[in-house]
Amino acid sequence: MSSLRNSFRSGPDERGHFGMFGGRFVAETLMPLILDLEKAYADAKGDAAFQRDMARYRKDYIGRPSPLYFAERLTEHLREISAASGGAGGAKIYLKREELNHTGSHKVNNVLGQILVARRMGKKRIIAETGAGQHGVATATLCARFGLDCVVYMGAVDVARQEPNVIRMEMLGAKVVPVQSGTRTLKDAMNEALRDWVTNVHDTFYCIGTVAGPHPYPMMVRDFQSIIGEETRWQMQEVEGRLPDSLIACIGGGSNAMGLFHPFLDESSVEIFGVEAAGHGLDKQHAASLTGGRPGVLHGNRTYLLMDGDGQIEDAHSISAGLDYPGIGPEHSWLHETGRVTYLSATDEEALGAFQLLSRLEGIIPALESAHAIARVIELAPRRSKDHLMVVNLSGRGDKDVPQVGDILKGRKK
Amino acid sequence: MTTRIDTRFAELRKQGRSAFVTFLMAGDPDPATSLAIIRALPKAGADIIEIGMPFTDPMADGPAVQAAGRRALDAGMTLTGTLRMIGEFRKDDDSTPVVLMGYYNPVYIYGVEKFLDDARAAGVDGLIVVDLPPEEDSELCIPAMKAGLNFIRLATPTTDDKRLPAVLANTSGFVYYVSITGITGSAAADSTAVGAAVGRIKRHTSLPVCVGFGIRTPDAARGIAERSDGAVVGSALVDALSASLDAEGKATSGTVQAVASLAAALAEGVRSARQAAD
């Protein structure tokens, strides 16, 4: 068989399917827009001027490339753990420093691309959904930069637990709408954004924050985030002279993970791990759609979802607002079923532990989302040999989580 | 295959009038009251009954229909329960067409083949599934047609002449024209613009064209009925139901009558419409 036919990187097909996942499950009102967007994105992709703009803003506005940093003390710490249990392992851990991007997370990579596409389409009003607020902040930032109106939908629960980001968005000139329907988290913010879009189709561009939604969003967002993996590839070549041996990233919708993974999917020597949020535990309330859900249709695509036996969507739970979503991008569902990527999970407690460990050992306060990936690194790295090169995507910084984590830790001291 | 929907429109054509189409959520505010309301609708003048399949995440619905779905789910309504309710309704009424309306996930999880079998057996005539555009016809539309159920498509102001043929290709029963870009229960439809849009759709199809979204009063229903083959009223009926509930959101002795009275007034509006000059 040809290597092309065996590729994990050839999806989606022309109808937006990754295997049985993906598709375009939207109301008729939105369908013409989605077809327009598909065309506009294809045009942009093939336009040298668009690519030049992307490269320029990535470098001078976002601050790319983001460093690939050898986490020496974390590596040493996990080697000691391995030695304490009689082992000689402890992978060499590199952090892909997406938290150093302008606005503090990987989200800006995607927003830059979508805003440049929106401008080509002549759209003047941008809407977005946000969970932790990172995508909302990135969207508000680029709307400020390009003089576009910006409305961000955010679940009322998330507005309360991620207040620093709400203030940032408002300072940047965005209107933040707290969503009171449903569970008042990310899923409901997305419902409300879709309701806005269907009402204001004529002038509004929906800037989706993750690799989910109707085609072409999962593909387009993946393409914009793939810069993470592309850089990792040449950076690792530069420092170690070879490919990494494993990749790890946290997953809510899954855009930071897809961005890191995609350029490596056809490198069979590279182990790939996605980490979902196990919340209070997989037998309790959690947000691990692949581990605890099954295929269904929501928000424009077929993918793994948390739901009851009647097809009603269930409430997700995670300490991290950015992972608190009952679904996952359709390409992840496909990579799960094909077995190319191994999907693990980490609980709220494990993420809190990893959050503190990385802060103390490396002087880097990670986002609670990214801390889920670190939590699995703590377990996986000691079981790998010392010449194993492990890359973890540090997708966001934890400034926004400082008040929330501070309150939790203070509560425990009492 | 002739369905109750085809038969009903043939009768209405003979009478020279448009259809009055009602929408209410199955199981709102509880399964027993919901069945009593649906039973009262034909007598109140409903020509076609649309019944919502409750879903946790109704992306195209406004606050009224969202709340109706929430009440129904809280009262224990399921898709199985919805089909059972239609079966009960059919025991006394074998002529009023029933159309199920909702979102795909509950149907997908129920299983498409089993759903179509059970829906037919219960006496369902047609389906409207908001998040299944023609691009996804292989999911449910084609199997439903094969099973003898009408698959009723939504056309919207954004569905231009280039796209209309694709939207109409596998549509049967009637075409549901969504008169505004937006969610259910929001802005009012402008009847002149609606007339132009209905004319545009009719140049592409011989199917009846019903119009919904934004119709709240008997006058508005008459205006729409004069320019189309049917007026669909949903959120206004749901609001009347909601206003009749007690402080805990439970049905009162006035709930069935509140919905039936508004339905009767709206039906009167539709029946008073001048015959469309087509």
What is the spatial distance between Cα B55 and Cα B59, in angstroms, rounded to a whole number?
10
ipTM of this model? Answer: 0.95
Tokens 């059970």 belong to residue: B118
From CA B115, how far away is CA B100, in angstroms rounded? Answer: 12
Q: What mean pLDDT do residues A200-221 have?
A: 97
Minimal C-alpha gap between B79 and chain A (Å): 7
Question: What local confidence, expressed as pLDDT, does residue B274 receive?
Answer: 80
Residue A5, pLDDT score = 59
Give yes or no for A36 touching B (CB within 8 A): no
Confidence band of A414 (pLDDT split at 50, 70, 90): low
When pLDDT is averaged across residues B242-252 and rounded to a whole number, the result is 97
Chain B CB contacts of A312 below 8 Å = 55-56, 73, 106
Predicted confidence at residue B278, as pLDDT, reads 46
User: How far is A180 from A203, CA to CA, in rounded Å?
Assistant: 25
Which tens digits make up the pLDDT trace of A347-377? 999 999 999 999 999 999 999 999 999 999 9
pLDDT, tens digit (0-9, with 9 covering 90-100), for A154-204: 999 999 888 899 999 999 999 999 999 888 989 999 999 999 999 999 999
Q: pTM here?
A: 0.96
Residue A168 confidence (pLDDT)? 96
Catalytic residue among B28, B30, B61, B118: B61
Q: pLDDT category, A1, cuts 50, 70, 90?
A: very low
The mean pLDDT value for A133-150 works out to 97
**Mean of pLDDT values over B8-14:** 97
Q: Would you state the pLDDT for residue A2?
A: 39
Which residues of chain B does A25 touch, with a Cβ-Cβ cutoff of 8 Å?
A: 104, 131-133, 136
Percentage of chain B lying above the pLDDT 70 cut? 99
Q: What is the pLDDT of residues B144-199, one digit of tens each?
A: 999 999 999 999 999 999 999 999 999 999 999 998 888 988 777 788 899 999 99
Answer yes or no: A129 catalytic: yes
- Rounded Cα gap, residues A149 and B264, in angstroms: 45
How would you list the strands of the sheet with B48-52, edge to edge? B150-151, B126-129, B98-102, B48-52, B19-25, B230-233, B209-212, B175-178, B154-155
The yes-or-no verdict on residue B276 having pLDDT over 70 is: no
What is the distance in angstroms between the CA of the first residue and the CA of the last residue of chain A? 64
A198/B182 CB distance under 8 A: yes
Pick the catalytic residue: A66, A246, A345, A395? A395
β-pairing, A300-305 vs A294-298, is antiparallel
Among A17, A195, A202, pick the best mutation site for testing chain B contact (most B Cβ within 10 A): A195
Average pLDDT over residues B2-26: 96
Establish if B166 touches chain A: CB-CB under 8 angstroms.
Answer: no
Mean pLDDT, residues A82-107 = 97
Count other C-beta atoms under 10 Å from residue A359's C-beta. Answer: 16
Lay out the sheet containing A294-298: strands in order across. Answer: A17-18, A21-25, A300-305, A294-298
Nearest-neighbour CA in chain B from A203: distance (Å) = 12
Res A59: pLDDT: 98
Instruction: Answer yes or no: is pLDDT of A320 > 60.
Output: yes
* Selected residues 75-134 of chain B with any CB under 8 Å from a CB in chain A: 78-80, 103-110, 130-134
Span A63-103+225-413: which CATH code? Answer: 3.40.50.1100
Query: Does A63-103+225-413 match A23-61+107-222 at the fold level?
Result: yes
> Mapped to the 3 state alphabet, what secondary structure does chain A carry?
CCCCCCCCCCCCCCCCEECCEEEEECCHHHHHHHHHHHHHHHHHHCCHHHHHHHHHHHHHHHCCCCCEEECHHHHHHHHHHHHHCCCCCCCEEEEECHHHCCCCECHHHHHHHHHHHHHHCCCCEEEEEECCCHHHHHHHHHHHHHCCEEEEEEEHHHHHHCHHHHHHHHHCCCEEEEECCCCCCHHHHHHHHHHHHHHCCCCEEECCCCCCCCCCHHHHHHHHHCHHHHHHHHHHHHHHCCCCCEEEEECCCCHHHHHHHHHHCCCCCCEEEEEEEEECCCCCCCCCHHHHCEEEEECEEEEEECECCCCCECCCCCCCHHHCCCCCCHHHHHHHHHCCCEEEEEEHHHHHHHHHHHHHHHCCCECHHHHHHHHHHHHHHHHCCCCCEEEEECCEEHHHHHHHHHHHHHHHHC
In 3D space, the residue among A371, A329, A413 whose CA is nearest the CA of residue A110 turns out to be A329
pLDDT at residue B275, rounded to an integer: 65
Rg (CA), chain A: 20
More confident residue, A283 or A5: A283
Domain positions in chain B are 4-271
> Does A182 reach chain B within 8 Å, measured CB to CB?
yes
The CATH class of the B4-271 domain is alpha beta
Q: Does A309 touch chain B (CB under 8 A)?
A: yes
Tens of pLDDT, residue by residue over B91-107, are 999 999 999 999 999 99
Residue A320 vs residues A98, A132, A178, A396: alpha-carbon distances, Å: 17, 7, 18, 12
Pick the residue of B55, B139, B158, B170 with the most A CBs within 10 A to test the interface with A by mutation.
B158
Structure token pair of residue B165: 């043929």
Rounded to an integer, what distance in angstroms lies between the CA atom of residue A209 and that of residue A233?
24
Which structure tokens are listed for A195? 């309701």
Please check the confidence at residue B25 and state whether its pLDDT lies above 80: yes
Domain positions in chain A:
23-61+107-222, 63-103+225-413
Q: Tens digits of per-residue pLDDT, B65-80?
A: 999 999 999 999 999 9
Structure tokens at A208: 């989706």
pLDDT in tens, A324-351: 899 999 999 999 999 999 999 999 999 9
| Range B240-262 average pLDDT | 97
Six token digits for residue B99: 């159309």
Angstrom distances, CA of residue A314 to CA of A307, A311, A327, B50, B80: 5, 9, 10, 26, 18
* Banded model confidence at residue A247, pLDDT cuts 50, 70, 90: very high
Report the chain B residue with the minimal C-alpha distance to residue A192.
Answer: B59
Residues 6+ positions from B211 with CB-CB distance below 8 Å? B176, B177, B179, B189, B194, B198, B224, B227, B228, B230, B231, B232
A193, closest residue in chain B (CA to CA)? B59
Buried b (16+ CB within 10 A) or exposed e, A380-411: bbbebeeebbbbbbbbbbbebbeebbeeeeee
Fold classification of A23-61+107-222 is Rossmann fold (3.40.50)
